[in-house]
A and B are shown apart, each in its own frame.
Chain A
Amino acid sequence: MSDTQWNMDLVSTPRKRGDAVIADARGDIDLHNSPELRSAILAILAEGIPKRLILNLSQVPYMDSSAIAVLVEALQKLRRTGGRVMLVGLQPRVRGLLEIARLDTIFVLAADEEAALAL
């Protein structure tokens, strides 16, 4: 990965598995720290657009629309090259927001990383 730095309390160092790049996020994400989420994801994508970006959100109890906007931006970038953004381990509030925004069918949702990798 590049020298680009981000808040690793919020997003872990990404790891590769096959054609997938996997990163874990943790903690509440709102307008205050969603720019850090964006920086982290853009840094990951700057290394090369993967076929699959798997974001493990199992440690994210809450996110708001600013975080959703970051995920949509990532999806837009991956779609240009036929890639997918897969969100795994969604907690109820995060899933609920995606459903309210009617974006739950645009992302690939999976129970966990293994399930996402099997898709």
Chain B
Amino acid sequence: MKMEWKITSNPANLREVRKAVESFAKSAGAPVEAADAIGLVLNEALANIIRHGYNDATDRPIIVTAEESEGKIELALRDWAKPFDPAKVKYKCDGELSPGGIGMICIRKLMDDVTFERLADGMLLRMTKKLVH
């Protein structure tokens, strides 16, 4: 089972594609908690692309792919934004009064495998969540 969404980098698109991917995950057999986590992670990853990759431009392309196979769901986000180095993300420390890096914290904590691939003309983010541990 595989689905693809081609969207622009407009924050108004976030809710619709998040809900579509949550529905996809549930249809693929994900428990509600896992589907919710996938939706949140997708939201945060898209928001990072919009804010940091595309500098809040609302008309740039993003392709979201969701695929279920062998008891796991893989999300792939393709953008044509400026290169992103996840190693340079500044994370908040425990108890620190700062929202810094929450999106990346969610991605790292809620997904089982995360890879950022730097392409010649953008980035490809792949994130996998196992449905059964």
Residues of A that sit less than 8 Å from B by CB: 28, 30-32, 64-66, 68-69, 72, 75-76, 79, 93, 96-97, 100-103, 105-106
Contact = CB atoms under 8 A, between A and B. Distances in A.
B51 A31 contact: yes
Given A32-B12, A65-B106, A102 B95 contact: yes
B15 A100 contact: no
Interface of B: 11-12, 14-15, 18, 36, 40, 43-44, 47, 50-51, 92, 94-95, 97-99, 102-103, 105-106, 109-110
Contact of B40 (A64, A76, A79, A106): A64
Contact of B44 (A65, A76, A79, A102): A65
Contacts of A65: 44, 47, 99, 102-103, 106
Given A31-B11, A31-B47, A72 B110 contact: no
A103 B106 CA distance: 13
The A interface is mostly helix, strand or loop, or mixed, namely helix
A40 B36 CA distance: 27
Given A31-B51, A32-B12, A64 B95 contact: no
Given A31-B50, A76-B97, A97 B11 contact: no
Nearest to B104: A65
B36 A30 contact: no
Closest 7 CB pairs of A and B: A65-B102, A69-B99, A32-B11, A31-B11, A31-B47, A101-B102, A72-B99
A81 B15 CA distance: 36
B103 A102 contact: no
A32 B99 contact: no
Contact of A32 (B15, B92, B98): B15
Nearest to B19: A28
28 contacts: A30-B11, A30-B18, A31-B14, A31-B50, A32-B12, A32-B14, A64-B43, A65-B47, A65-B102, A65-B103, A68-B99, A76-B97, A93-B36, A97-B40, A97-B106, A100-B105, A100-B106, A100-B109, A100-B110, A101-B92, A101-B99, A101-B102, A101-B106, A102-B92, A102-B95, A103-B99, A105-B95, A106-B97
B112 to A, nearest CB: 15
